[in-house]
Structure 1
C-alpha cells in the first residue's frame, strides 16, 4: 500500500545554478552532490536535482511549498529582490507566491494546508464540487 510522496525529481540544465537557487533562496538543505545530480531536503521532502534537458510543464502543474503566515511576506520580498520570475497571481484561499526555478519549473510558496482549503470550499464551493467525506 502506498504511504505518500517518496521524493521529487526535477530536471536541471545547470546543476550549480539550480543548487544555489534551492539552497540559497528556498532554504533546502544540501545532502549530497555528484557530477549529474544532487539530493536536498526541505522538512520531510527529499528533492533530487537531476541533470537532463528540462521540459517544464506548460500547464497548471506545479510544486507547492508550505510556509508559516508570519514568514510569507519577508520570504517573498527576498525572492522578488533576487529577481525570480513570477508566473501567476494568486486567486485562491491562502497567500501564495508563484515563481519559476532557473529551469522554468513552476513552484508555489503557500500559506495554508488542505484543511484550510477545504474550509474555504465550504464557504465558496467550486462549480460541480462533490464531497467524499
Structure 2
C-alpha cells in the first residue's frame, strides 16, 4: 500500500532570516529558489528547506518535519492520523497537508506536493524573488 514516501521538506523558524538565508546558502551550499519578506525556499541536494522568519519557540513556531505522501492514500492516512493525534495548524498553503503532533509533541506534516508545485503557486505573487538555477561548470556559453 503506498503511503509515506520519505521526508517532503523541513521548515525552520529563524530569528534573523537574512543571517540564516546567507548561512544555509554560503556555508552549506543551499541553492536559493525563492525569497520573500517572511521566508525563503532553498534546496540542499534533494532536501527542500523552508526558512520562516520568527522567534524560535518549540511550542508556538512553525518548525516541523513534513512527510511526503502519495496523493492516492492521503485521505485514508489523514483520517487515521486525525483519529489518533492532535492537530496543531490548519493548512493554508498549496497542496494537501495535515499538521499534527506525534505522541511526544513533535510537529509533523503529511504533505502532497513538492518544491516545484509550491514555487508554481507563488509565481503570481509580487513580493517573491525567484532565483535562477545554478549554471553547471560543464555548460558553455554559445
Pairwise TM-score range, normalised by the shorter structure = 0.5 to 0.7
1:97 aligns to 2:105 (yes or no)? no
Q: Which structure's residues are more often strand, by fraction?
A: 2
Question: Which sections of structure 1, spanning at least 5 residues, go unmatched?
Answer: 9-54
Give the TM-score normalised by structure 2. 0.50
1:109-133 CA distance string (max 9 Å, x none) = 00000011011111x32x6211111
Q: How many Å apart are 1:57 and its aligned residue?
A: 4.9
In the other structure, the counterpart of 1:130 is 129
Question: Which sections of structure 2, spanning at least 5 residues, go unmatched?
Answer: 1-6, 11-56, 133-142
Describe the SS at the equivalent of 2:88. Answer: strand
Aligned-pair Cα RMSD in Å: 2.2
Structure ranking higher on relative contact order (CA contacts 8 Å, 6+ apart): 2
Separation of aligned partners in 2, 1:81 and 1:128: 38
Give the TM-score normalised by structure 1. 0.53
In the other structure, the counterpart of 1:30 is none
Question: Does the aligned pair in 2 maintain the 1:56–1:103 contact within 8 Å?
Answer: no
Matched ranges for 1:7-86 at <5 A: 56-82=58-84, 84-86=85-87
